[in-house]
A and B are shown apart, each in its own frame.
Chain A
Amino acid sequence: MQKGLAQFFLSALFIASAQLSTAQKSELGRPVAIDKLPSGSLYVLGAQGVVRAVDFQSGKAAITGSFRLPPGWAGSDIVSAQVSGQNILFIAVNYGLTGQVNMYSTTGNLIRSWTLRSGVAGIDYDASDSTLFVASGRTPEIFRITVTNGSQPQFVAEASGSQRLGPILYDPNEQALLVGDLVMGAIYKVDITHHSSSLLFTELTSPQALKLSPDRATLFVADAGARRIVSYSIAQPKAAPKVFAKLPQFRSPSGLAWADDRLAVSDDGARRLFFLSKTGSLEDTLPATP
């Protein structure tokens, strides 16, 4: 009888701890940015500075690991890359008015840091040139960091007329940068060679993330204010944007990444990841929709 009771309590304890573990693992916090290594995990950056790795097990997304950034760091953007054969995460954070871009291993070891006095709003990496592009947080400036030679951030160009820069994307086809403006609801094209900028797309509310399609012909934009994902044709910048996805569950889409053939969308307000098909229909969420 006593042995039976002990077994019962032990079983109950095991079930409770397993549930706790599952609950903790399914907690995403407030995801503000995502990116995926071509042959690796999807990495999710939380507003409170937690980085989570998401992998697909039997087609279902699950959190498989995490590490925490120092306290007080507010997550801004994340980019994954291969540098010298090693998988690397570039993580942009703000601490007060100061921005920082940090180079981490995928297991959370800090390798290098660069400081930006005017904060940081977005980052992107040009693998062919080992160059990191950084959109400033409080000025319309764009900086370049050459990762391999240990240089400090160098001014590249200014997005003239911009009020508050947001996400940044390097387009290798055009050898240009696309930069979102959170207040103007617009996307600027910045010519790196001639250090000039022009207004490319408008009609947005608050572009929070930019992603090119795998063939680089289409630009996807997470438009947080309108709670939708829109797409633009790069070849026809004057054409009206198409609504790719506008789910009722969207609150504030904050990040975009390609996960195999699906577009992963992080949502800061909904505290979820949404996985969309090529046609924009919802296929899966993390945590799973109840």
Chain B
Amino acid sequence: MAVAALLGTASLCAGQMAIQVPSLQPTTTSSVNFTVQDWGPVTNSDLQHLSPQTFQSQQQLFNLDVDTGSFSRDKVNRFQFDLYVQKSGDSGAEHFHIYEDPVGVFVDYIAPIGISIKSAGNVDSANLADIPIHAQYEGDVFSRTGKGDPIPVELGTSSQINIPIVSNLTNLQASINAVTISSTTCTKCWQGQLTATYDSTVQPSGASALILTVQPNTLYALYASAFAVDPHKSQDTLAVYVTSTPGQGGLPSLPQKIEIPVRFSPSFLYLASAVILGSLIGFGIRRLIPATAPDAAAGTAAAPATGRFPRWARDLILSIATAVIVEIFGLVLFNNTNTSVVFFGFSLDPSQVAPAFLVAILVAGGPPVVSKISEAIKI
């Protein structure tokens, strides 16, 4: 029997009856062998207690009952089920016990199994429909649907991230046993425990969602976002581990990792603070830079300040207003057309604190600050 299983076909001769179950090949790199044991004859009254799925052989020589109530695991975790083969017209049946021995990685599915039966010179074959084929090493049970772009997470508040997923089990239910979440690059960027809620049962090929509840740690998240200003790159990646069990006797899978890239979105208050602070710094730097000769001449030739505010105050208000207008313009463009701000060849996301701060410095500082920075970069 062991040799038969190795050759790819499990066969067993039970007294006058022999059955053969050929191997299946779920994918090009995986296979499922079947081991058959004869558990002897049973009476018709024994058959009354089954949850049978009944089939007839092609030449109608045999009736076959697959006991769906026997779909289970043995002590070394092999999937097993019972098959009862009854010769037409006979009372009682022969009880066969079938083990699946999967090799390789694939996703569980339901398939028909073709078997051949030999008894007292009669040879017949039958198809056992709807037999669960279970992998030992499960492929990915779920796939994430939608775009893989970084998901914005608002700073300063607890928020929920909706991760749409779809089951890769085409004709088996999947039960989600557990979901755990961890940060891959910035564990300090999160406060409290990252948790998920989900429907524990996912229908075959069905859509579902993991709803992650997260709360960023603002200071650490701002620090992380300061160095990841490219609008297309994530500032952290959440690793969501989903443990699930395929229905009808599947093995609980190893945790399947789903990566969720995130970008921290500062609230209006943070952005406004960054723009005002940047404007003040830019304005201050501009005042500190010594005026060049033509500028100085232009300054002395300029008309004396008139109105309610001194000249420096009007300049300051103008700098802040300009920086605010540029930031709003950048945000409108970025949010509607995904246009990023390009600064010295670097693409920046104006919805982040650091880029907003930088832009405000440059706008409020004006040409003297920009040229100073240009010179510094050339050096």
Contacts and interface: CB of A to CB of B under 8 A. Distances in A.
Interface string A48-81: 0000000000000000000000001011110000
Q: Chain A binding site: helix, strand, loop or mixed by DSSP? A: loop
B367 interface: no
Given A224-B37, A269-B97, A33 B75 contact: yes
A138 B254 CA distance: 15
Contact of A95 (B40, B101, B136, B252): B252
A72 B177 contact: yes
A166 interface: yes
Interface in B230-254: 243, 245, 251-254
Contacts of A76: 75-77
Most buried by A among B39, B40, B72, B75: B75
A35 B76 CA distance: 18
Interface string A174-187: 00000000111100
Interface in A165-209: 166, 182-185, 205-206, 208
A173 B301 CA distance: 111
22 contacts: A33-B75, A72-B177, A74-B73, A76-B75, A94-B77, A95-B252, A96-B243, A96-B253, A97-B251, A119-B76, A138-B136, A183-B35, A184-B2, A205-B1, A205-B37, A208-B75, A224-B37, A225-B1, A227-B38, A227-B40, A251-B95, A251-B97
B5 interface: yes
A269 B75 contact: no
A47 B74 contact: yes
Contacts of A164: 76
Interface in B332-366: none
Contact of B76 (A166, A184, A252): A166
A248 interface: yes
B137 interface: yes
A268 B74 contact: yes
Contacts of A75: 75
Contacts of A94: 73, 76-77
Contact of A183 (B5, B136, B137): B5
Contacts of B95: 251
Contacts of B40: 227, 248, 251
Interface residues of B, number: 26
A33 B254 CA distance: 26
A282 to B, nearest CB: 16
Contacts of A248: 40
B39 A77 contact: no
Contacts of A208: 75
Q: Lowest 3 A-B CB distances belong to which pairs?
A: A96-B252, A32-B75, A94-B77
Interface of B: 1-2, 5, 35, 37-40, 72-77, 95, 97, 101, 136-137, 177, 243, 245, 251-254
Contacts of A182: 76
Nearest to B82: A269
Contacts of A106: none
B5 A252 contact: no
Contacts of B245: 72, 96
Given A97-B254, A225-B1, A252 B37 contact: yes
Contacts, number: 74
A183 B75 contact: no
Contacts of A32: 74-75
Interface residues of A, number: 35
Interface in A1-51: 30, 32-33, 47
A47 B73 contact: yes
B74 A137 contact: no
A205 to B, nearest CB: 6
A103 B352 CA distance: 54
B350 to A, nearest CB: 47
A94 B253 CA distance: 12
Interface string A92-121: 001111000000000000000000000101
Nearest to B254: A97
Contacts of A231: none
A275 to B, nearest CB: 20
A100 to B, nearest CB: 12
Contacts of B38: 227
Contacts of B76: 76, 94, 119, 121, 137, 164, 166, 182
B252 A72 contact: yes
A74 B101 CA distance: 17
Contacts of A138: 136
A96 B254 contact: yes
Contacts of B101: 183
A182 B40 CA distance: 20
Contacts of A205: 1-2, 37
A47 B72 contact: yes
Contacts of B253: 96
Contacts of A96: 243, 245, 251-254
Contacts of A185: 1-2
A106 B346 CA distance: 68
Interface string A242-254: 0000001001101
